[in-house]
Amino acid sequence: MEQIKRQTPENGGYKETDRELREGSRSERKGEAMEGLEKEEDREILRMEVESRSSNEEFARVAVAVFMSRLDPTMEEIDDVKTAVSEAVTNAVIHGYQGESGIIYIQVTIEGRLLSVEVEDRGVGIGDVKKAMEPMYTTDTTGERSGMGFSFMEAFMDQVQVKSAPGKGTCVMMKKRIGR
């Protein structure tokens, strides 16, 4: 199982960001407690299973956009997440399942201001994740695919992690803080 973790300089690393965000959500809970609305779990989750069809690329990104709207994001933040989700789902359809049938598992988690999106397939998997994530790398021979899918996910989200194993499938985990 190969795992690649990328960080952008401005988020200062995953662990730090995560801790900071949890503290953020704790103080929010405190506020709610004063109004008598304290919840056990300050986390909301959306789970979806869609068939691996290119028509579901739009459905998936729109569903995620609607779910994240409860964070009161800007238009730009919504567009960023939609683009990243579209890239991940397109990869699952084209590369993971190679255009064959299969199920794409999508989980979206909201924790404080942190939005996490996981897109998973049980398809062919990636042998060399590092190489697959290189900008402009593509296995396409028609010239129609730009090879920028992972670069786009990294450009539009704060953090992108890819877990993959040949024959088992691929899971793309992306995080973005909403409302800077």
Partner 1 sequence: MMEQEFSYEAKGQALVIHLPKELDHHNCRNLKVETDLLLAENYITKIVFDFSGTVFMDSSGIGVLLNRYKQMERSGGKVAICGAGAQITRVLNIGGIGKLVPRYDSIEAAIAG
> Could you list the active site residues?
87, 91, 145
Q: Is 40 in the site for partner 1 (CB under 8 A)?
A: no
In the complex, minimum distance from the CB of residue 28 to partner 1, in angstroms, rounded to a whole number: 30
Instruction: Report d(CA 48, CA 138) in Å as an integer.
Output: 28
Single-letter code of the amino acid located at 37: L
Binder among 55, 101, 139, 141 for partner 1 (CB under 8 A): 55
- DSSP E strand boundaries for 26-144: 43-51, 103-111, 114-121
In the complex, minimum distance from the CB of residue 75 to partner 1, in angstroms, rounded to a whole number: 7
Closest by CA to 112, choosing from 169, 173, 28, is: 28
Q: Is 155 in the site for partner 1 (CB under 8 A)?
A: yes
| Burial degree of 7 (CB within 10 A; 0-12, 13-18, 19+) | middle
Q: Is 52 in the site for partner 1 (CB under 8 A)?
A: no
In the complex, minimum distance from the CB of residue 92 to partner 1, in angstroms, rounded to a whole number: 11
Q: Is 176 in the site for partner 1 (CB under 8 A)?
A: no
| Both structure tokens of 30 | 């405190």
Binder among 93, 106, 110, 160 for partner 1 (CB under 8 A): 93
**Cβ nearer to partner 1, comparing 80 with 111:** 80
In the complex, minimum distance from the CB of residue 154 to partner 1, in angstroms, rounded to a whole number: 10
> Which residues make Cβ contacts (< 8 Å) with residue 171, sequence separation at least 6?
118, 119, 120, 121, 162, 163, 164
Tell me how far CA of residue 85 lies from CA of 24, 34, 160, in angstroms: 25, 37, 11
State the residues that interact with partner 1 by CB under 8 A. Answer: 54-55, 57-59, 61, 75-76, 79, 82-83, 86-87, 90, 93-94, 140, 142-149, 151-152, 155-156
